[in-house]
Amino acid sequence: MYAETLFAAGLIDPAIEKLDAAIQLLGGLNSMRPGTERDRAFARSLAFAERVAQPKQGSSDPVRAAGLYDRAAAAAASPAQQVAYRLSRARFARSQRDFTSEVRLYQDILANPAWRAVIVPEEDGTGTTPAATLAEDSIRDRVRDMPAVYKQFEQQAVEQLAIAKQAKDPAQMMAVAQIYPNAKVAPDAMLAAADAYEAAGKFRPATQVLNQAYRKYREQSDKARIIEAQARNYLKLPGGVGVAIGRLTEGAKLQSAPTLSSPPKE
C-alpha cells in the first residue's frame, strides 16, 4: 500500500523503489513466487505503467513506462493477467507508433488458447468480448494500412498450414486459422480442416467448421465451395437433408452460377 501512496503523492522514484523491494522479497524479477503478493506486484506494476504512460497531468515518460511494463510482464501469471498486460502494452506501443510491437502483443494472445478465451472490455467500453476477438480486430485494423507489420506472421501461417496439410491433421489446420485469423491462408486452413474431417467420415465436425468458415470468410473465400461442402456433409447426417437442400438453393442464387464440383454420391 505504501508504494501506491507514494505514487499518488507524485513521488514516483520512491514508489518504484518500494515496488522493486517487494519484487525482490518475492524472489526477484524473473523468479517471483506465486500467490497474492505476486498478484499485487502485477497490479501495481501495470497501474504505475499506465499512469506514467498516460498521466492526467504533465508529460508521459515512455522509458519509465516501458520499465514498469517489463515488471508487469514478469509478474503476470494467470491468463487474465497475461492478457491485461498485453492489451495495455499494445495500447502503449500504439501511442508510441511502435506498430510492430503492437501487432506482436495482440498476436501473442491469439497464439495461446487460454488467453484467447479471456473476457475483456470492448475498446469503446460498451461491453465485453473474448480477447481473441479484440486482438483479431485490432490486428485487422492495423494491417489494413500497414501490411508490412504482419509479414512475419503471414509467413508463419503459410509454413504451419503446410505442415498441418502434410500431417493431414484437421486439428492442426484449425489451429492455424485460430492463431492467424488475419492471415490470407486462414480461410484455406478452415476449408482444408473441413475436407480432412469429411475424408475421415467425421461429417458433423466438418459441418461445424464449414459453418464457421461461411460466417467469417464467405466474402474472402470461395463461397460456392463452402456451400457445396456444407450440403455434401449435411446429406451424410441424420435429418440433414433439409439443411442440405437449403444450402444448395442458396448456392444456386450466386451470381457466378456455380456447378457442383463433387456431386453427392448415393
- 124-147 pLDDT tens trace: 888 999 999 999 999 999 999 999
Give the pLDDT score at 174: 97
**Is the pLDDT score of 249 beyond 60?**
yes
**Is the pLDDT score of 61 beyond 70?**
yes
Give the pLDDT score at 60: 81
How does pLDDT run across 97-122, given as a tens digit for each residue?
Answer: 999 999 999 999 999 999 999 999 99
Phi, psi of 163 (to 5 degrees): -65, -45
Enter the C-alpha cell of residue 65: 513506462
How does pLDDT run across 11-58, given as a tens digit for each residue?
Answer: 788 899 999 999 999 999 999 999 999 999 999 999 999 999 987 656
The model's confidence at residue 256, banded by pLDDT at 50, 70 and 90, is low
How does pLDDT run across 162-198, given as a tens digit for each residue?
Answer: 999 999 999 999 999 999 999 999 999 999 999 999 9
Local structure of 254: helix, strand or coil = coil
Task: Show the CA angle centred on residue 134, arms to residues 128 and 138, nearest 5°.
Answer: 145
Q: What is the pTM of this model?
A: 0.89
Question: Percent of the chain beyond pLDDT 90?
Answer: 78
Local structure of 127: helix, strand or coil = coil
Phi, psi of 130 (to 5 degrees): -60, 145
CA distances from 235 to 170, 218, 225 (A): 21, 21, 16
The model's confidence at residue 8, banded by pLDDT at 50, 70 and 90, is confident
**CB within 8 Å of 166: residues ≥ 6 apart:** none
Is the domain defined by 152-252 classed in CATH 1.25.40.10? Answer: yes
| Domain residue limits, the chain | 2-150, 152-252
